[in-house]
Copies of this chain bind each other. A is one copy, B any other.
Amino acid sequence: MTNPRIAVVGAGAVGAYYGGRLALAGHEVCFYSRSAAAELRANGLHVSSYVGDFVLPAIQVFDDTAAMGPADLIIVALKSTAIGVYVDLVRPLVCEDSVIVCLQNGLGNEEIFAGAFGAERVLGAIAYVCINRDTPSHILHIAHGLLRIGEFSSRKVERAESIAAMFRQANVPAQAVDDLHYYRWEKLAWNIPFNGWGAALDLNTAELLATGAGETLVRETMAEVIRAANAVGAPLKMSHIDFEIGRTKPMGEYRSSMQIDRQNGRALETEAILGKPLKAAAAAGVIDLPRMTTLHACLIALNATTLKRA
């Protein structure tokens, strides 16, 4: 892919940050945003980043993907709650050689694009980043930032490596991986306790870890995710728990994206983060996951109220 035409679908914190880095590095990037297009067009994109602030004064942003034209590289950074419109949104961007990268959390996203446009087009990317949106045109990049990129339907790394190289050249640490499935579950080991309980209780990462009981709840929930991961063929080790707790403590009072969604009355990514992992575990014969199932029920109840209030 030389000088690819890049479309970033979804300009929340993650889409705007990573797409913005590519644009800053000289790539041709256009963005789709349903809700923030006007503000981004008026103000440009402002990123306050711990690795260097930047501004894109003339960001190309559309509120209709049909107006964007086809793209060689389609980076999907939509919330998984938009799953019902994935295909219609992306279809106008797809041309013969388009590659689709799901830069999303949780399970079940790649499957949608694979089903609609062919599995061979699809990769997944996992962002290890502390990032929040201050306003639609101002992103706060607080810490971390690694992308792991892997094929959805094979263990090949060539294409993932070429995309990773493009990100690295744009000042984003990036790594091609040959086992996307494993890293999706590794990410869930953090997302399920911290996004999940963070949203359910409205507590940030420091608050979740401030008491012995809270830390134990996080650890026990993470242990269940690891048991589920092992059952579905992602051989995460229990020692991973200490690693995750250890790297989370320095984040301080970090609000997960799901906690912020709760606070802003937005739909929660309940199915991608909890529901589908639980279904995958059950299909592999693991059903005794009481922290996860309790959390799942909490998020469904909360989400119904969040949406009603919004």
Question: SS class of chain A's interface: helix, strand, loop or mixed?
Answer: helix
Q: How far is the CA of A203 from the CA of B303 in the complex (A)?
A: 11
The reply on A211 being an interface residue by CB < 8 A is: yes
The reply on A89 being an interface residue by CB < 8 A is: no
Give the nearest-CB partner of A197 in chain B.
Answer: B298
Contact (Cβ within 8 A) A294 B207: no
Q: How far is the CA of A297 from the CA of B308 in the complex (A)?
A: 28
Contact (Cβ within 8 A) A214 B294: no
Contact (Cβ within 8 A) A210 B305: yes
Contacts of A94-137 to chain B: CB distance below 8 A: none
Q: How far is the CA of A36 from the CA of B300 in the complex (A)?
A: 39
The reply on A201 being an interface residue by CB < 8 A is: yes
CB distance from A196 to the nearest CB of B (A): 11
The reply on A304 being an interface residue by CB < 8 A is: yes
Give the size of the chain A interface in residues (CB under 8 angstroms): 26
Contact (Cβ within 8 A) B291 A216: no
Q: How far is the CA of A216 from the CA of B202 in the complex (A)?
A: 22
Give the nearest-CB partner of A289 in chain B.
Answer: B290
Q: How far is the CA of A290 from the CA of B293 in the complex (A)?
A: 10
Give the nearest-CB partner of A213 in chain B.
Answer: B300
Which residues of B are found within 8 Å of A207, using beta-carbon distances?
301, 304-305
The reply on A73 being an interface residue by CB < 8 A is: no
Measured CB to CB, the residues of A under 8 A from B are 197, 200-203, 207-208, 210-211, 213-214, 216-217, 290-291, 294-298, 300-302, 304-305, 308
A-B interface, 8 closest residue pairs, ranked by CB to CB distance from nearest? A214-B301, A290-B290, A213-B300, A217-B297, A213-B297, A207-B305, A294-B294, A211-B304
Task: List 15 A–B pairs whose Cβ atoms lie within 8 Å, in order of A's numbering.
Answer: A201-B301, A203-B301, A203-B302, A207-B304, A208-B301, A210-B304, A210-B305, A211-B300, A211-B304, A213-B300, A216-B297, A217-B294, A217-B301, A290-B291, A291-B294
